[in-house]
């Protein structure tokens, strides 16, 4: 079974600075999808960025980018120019593309709480 680990329960960064959140995962599959979700105090789960494992190019969405290291099974999220609105819990998630029982379910890490200091 796949597992996702986020080893940083809490992180903090100064406003306008850059922060990197870590995520590692364990799988025997060669093709899969990885996601970062943001959960602000409103509790809503918001998709931040996604990465297909077969793509070598790292995904980027405005101030958010990932460092995808497939061999190391690492998928970190970099937030540039941090803003107060970035404060939230961030979850890394894995999804298998194979149509098996439980397929397309997301396997989540434990989350990292990010604080932005003004």
The residues of the shown chain that bind other proteins, judged by CB under 8 A, are 4, 9, 33, 35, 37, 42-45, 47, 50, 91, 95, 97, 101-102, 104-106, 108-111
Looking at the Cβ atoms of 28 and 42, the one nearer to other proteins is 42
Report the nearest approach of other proteins to the CB of residue 28 (Å): 18
Integer Cα distance of 30 and 62 in angstroms? 28
Tokens read off for 102: 């439980």
Integer Cα distance of 30 and 42 in angstroms? 35
How many of the other CB atoms lie within 10 Å of CB of 6?
20
Report the nearest approach of other proteins to the CB of residue 34 (Å): 10
Report the nearest approach of other proteins to the CB of residue 31 (Å): 11
């Amino acid at each position: 079974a796949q597992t996702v680990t986020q080893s940083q329960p809490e992180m903090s960064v100064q406003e306008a600075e850059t922060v990197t959140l870590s995520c590692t995962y364990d799988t025997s599959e060669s093709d899969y999808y990885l996601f970062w979700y943001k959960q602000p105090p409103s509790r809503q789960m918001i998709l931040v960025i996604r990465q297909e494992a077969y793509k070598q190019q790292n995904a980027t969405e405005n101030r958010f980018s990932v460092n995808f290291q497939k061999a190391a099974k690492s998928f970190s999220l970099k937030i540039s120019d941090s803003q107060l609105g970035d404060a939230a819990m961030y979850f890394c998630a894995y999804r298998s593309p194979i149509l098996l029982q439980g397929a397309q379910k997301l396997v989540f890490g434990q989350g990292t709480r990010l604080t932005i200091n003004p």
